[in-house]
Chain A
Amino acid sequence: MVELSTVDLLIASLLVVLLALLSLRQQSNISRQLIIAAVRTAVQLTLVGLVLKVLFENATLGWVTLMALFMLFVAGREVMMRQERRFKGWWGYAAGTFSMFLSSFAITVFALVVILGNDPWYEPQYAIPLLGMLLGNTMSGIAIAMDRLTHAAWEQRHIIEARLMLGETANEAISGYRNQAVRSGMIPIINAMAAAGVVSLPGMMTGQILAGTLPVEAVKYQILIMFLVSAGTGLGTLAAVHIGASRLFDSRQRLCLDRLREP
């Protein structure tokens, strides 16, 4: 593999700077965001590289768990921030974080123990990237689905209440919006699976090929990841939307929009 030097990366960063300058001329304030995001990428990835180096040298279950929990809590915060009308109080954080914990952790452990079978099973070189890919995708799915659900409940509140008035259960009145929310959370991963290899070469597979792995081997890993990610996203989205939809109603099946924050 060709080793990259700092100079190589600086040359690549010139492209981003060039783009920012172009945007500046069009008087859009996107250039500021672009630069900040680019700097964040460089700093965050450098730090994680150092952290992973230390973690690989100290591969104990305690450190791996600590790293995994840190990733989970950051992802949970990200899910919360991406929702326009999120639940007030700790529910806004817990609904998404708990669903991600349920799906991403369970599936990562399943894949590590049953499919990969390393010794020890939590070997960080496998566990951390796997969990990262699962969390990243599940996070997007849950954020989209929850945003869609709370948005629909707000927009369609009169219809939901009209249905309650006519004697429908909360479940009947919300089910259409719940299904739409799950659907929109899962569309990105379904599209990614459908386009994989034809339209796009997935990033992980590309990375493995660049690192010298045989394409056929890289493809097998990519298929594994795709399946794990779709299962994780699906389960996480279902769980989050289920929790969210029940939180929209109280024990007397009244629509409780005061549990949502104003945008």
Chain B
Amino acid sequence: MVGPLSLVVDEGDCLCISGASGSGKSLLLRAIADLDPHEGQALMQGVAATEIEPQLWRSRIGLLPPESYWWLPQVKNHFRNGMPLPLEQIGMSAEILDQPVARLSSGERQRLALMRLLSNRPRILLLDEPTANLDPVNTRRVEEVITSYRRENKAAVIWVSHDVEQVARVANRHYEMRDGGLHATEIEGRQWLS
């Protein structure tokens, strides 16, 4: 059981959520993306989820789950809208597009899943541990890609992270989730650049 809770995220904000596993962070993100039946309302720029078509809502709210799934044979088949930015920015080259998905490592899948999500140009990003399978170098690359997307598109970001150093690097607000509620927490060594 999560909530009841109330949360406002401004455009250009990056809000990090931490909390023990099972505390309901993923459930909260799924409820915002309207993937599970839930009470309460999510609004984007004053428009409630229930007022627009669910597929439109979900493509504007980009939810990145911790595990990525692929259903077409090759990587490039999944990018109908083209690549949102050069793959070099996440430490890959364009050759990977011709690879069968089965050959990708878990870290490659995770980074490509972020690219796939950004190619929808979402207004809000809901990121569920987007760097969980990545080494420190690629973690930094992904953080930079997300931060620059947020700043260029004035996107709002809700980011589930367990890494206090990562929170300090990327977030301007930090919450801890416990007992089904969100509790504001200080960010130690905050390096925020709006």
Contacts and interface: CB of A to CB of B under 8 A. Distances in A.
A165 B35 contact: yes
Given A159-B71, A166-B117, A254 B55 contact: no
A169 B54 CA distance: 8
B55 A169 contact: yes
Interface residues of B, number: 24
B48 to A, nearest CB: 12
Contact of B63 (A165, A168, A169): A165
A89 interface: no
A84 interface: no
Given A250-B37, A254-B34, A254-B36, A163 B71 contact: yes
B116 interface: yes
Nearest to B122: A167
Contact of A162 (B37, B50, B65): B65
Interface string B30-57: 0001111100000000000110001110
A167 B117 CA distance: 10
B35 A161 contact: yes
Contacts, number: 51
A253 B55 contact: yes
Nearest to A169: B55
- Chain A contact-residue range equals 10 to 19
* Most-contacted residue by chain B among A161, A162, A167, A168 (CB, 10 A): A167
A166 B120 contact: yes
A166 B63 CA distance: 8
Contacts of B36: 254
A165 B33 contact: yes
B59 interface: yes
A163 B78 CA distance: 10
List 3 tightest A-B contacts by C-beta distance, closest first.
A167-B59, A162-B69, A253-B54
